[in-house]
Amino acid sequence: MKIKQNKLLYLFILPGLILYLIFFILPTLSALFYSITNWDGLTPEYDFIGFENYVNLLTNDSIFAKSFFNNIKFMLFVVIFQTGFSLLFALFLVKNTKTNIFLRALYFFPTILSSVSVAFIWSFIYDPNLGILNTFLKKLNMDFLAHNWLGDESIAIFSIAFVQVWFHTGQMLIIFVAGLQNIPEDLYEVAKIEGANRWQKFRYVTWPLVAPAATIVMAYTTIQSFKAFDLIFAMTRGGPNYATEILATNIYSTAFRSFKFGYASAESVLFMIIIALITFIQFRVLRANRVQY
């Protein structure tokens, strides 16, 4: 009877498993299949071309290469600053006072907005003629800092990356606060008795114990930065001159503008591999650092 009951428990995973198969496994297998074809996405006919799409992507596609390096720059900026700011704010707001709870809610508020709304707000802020940012800089007699923030190829990707940091720092802040609140106060008391200063407390007590939360934050932030399609598409559509084109927007353009669905499928497969490799490396590096402590 007990064995039969235990078997019945497996039925509870069926709804989730079915959804996982339909919305992840099957699309992934379809992408793998179509990546070795020249399907245009419109007609039922296609030819098998082997690994031609992959070879072309890795050797002849300059736009894909530019999208990849744009994505790396975007990811590094977002991971470094979003992780740093969220941890810094969490250290100041870790105690459950009324003021801190209010500030946590305030910092978290942008996260509940839609990406398109955030894109429109910041597009207005960045406007070179009427935007709040340039107007504010000119009022301070700092005209030399005013820019066409989304029109300058050298800084456009970083301008959008800053919006991404503003957008999601509050979300990562909550994860860090949860991690910090799980650290026993006794450890800080012992460190104080031993004569540790603030940096030493952070270095030898806080960071080793908050590292699991940091791992989650960095992995999630990395995935976010590779999937920032809606924010970039709404703000610049990948321009100017592909300066803000990332892998996600490039895949969209290949599939729905050029109607090269087979080629876009190959891009999607490489996209998944890149995210998996970067996330794996992050986990290994952070785990190695925890072992050292």
Query: Looking at the predicted structure, is the pLDDT value of residue 192 above 60?
Result: yes
Superfamily of domain 60-292: MetI-like (1.10.3720.10)
Q: In this predicted structure, which of 66-75, 146-155, 280-289 has the lowest mean pLDDT? A: 280-289
Please write the tens of the pLDDT for every residue from 93-102: 999 999 999 9
pLDDT of residue 283: 78
Query: Looking at the predicted structure, is the pLDDT value of residue 1 above 50?
Result: no
- DSSP conformation class of 111: G
Rounded to whole angstroms, the Cα distance separating 42 from 180 reads: 52
pLDDT of residue 150: 95
pLDDT of residue 291: 45
pLDDT of residue 284: 80
Q: How far is CA 188 from CA 89, 192, 197, in A?
A: 19, 6, 10
Q: Which helix (H) or strand (E) holds 273?
A: helix 261-292
Segment 221-232 shows an average pLDDT of 92
pTM as predicted: 0.89
Query: Looking at the predicted structure, is the pLDDT value of residue 164 above 50?
Result: yes
Residues 124, 131: contact at Cβ < 8 Å? yes
Query: Looking at the predicted structure, is the pLDDT value of residue 3 above 60?
Result: no
Segment 254-262 shows an average pLDDT of 94
The residues that bridge with 37 in the sheet, in sequence order, are 48
Residues 16, 4: contact at Cβ < 8 Å? no
Q: Which of 177, 181, 169, 64 shows the shortest CA–CA distance to 109?
A: 169
Q: Which helix (H) or strand (E) holds 123?
A: helix 115-126
Q: pLDDT band for position 53 (50/70/90)?
A: very high
Rounded to whole angstroms, the Cα distance separating 160 from 227 reads: 13
Segment 32-49 shows an average pLDDT of 94
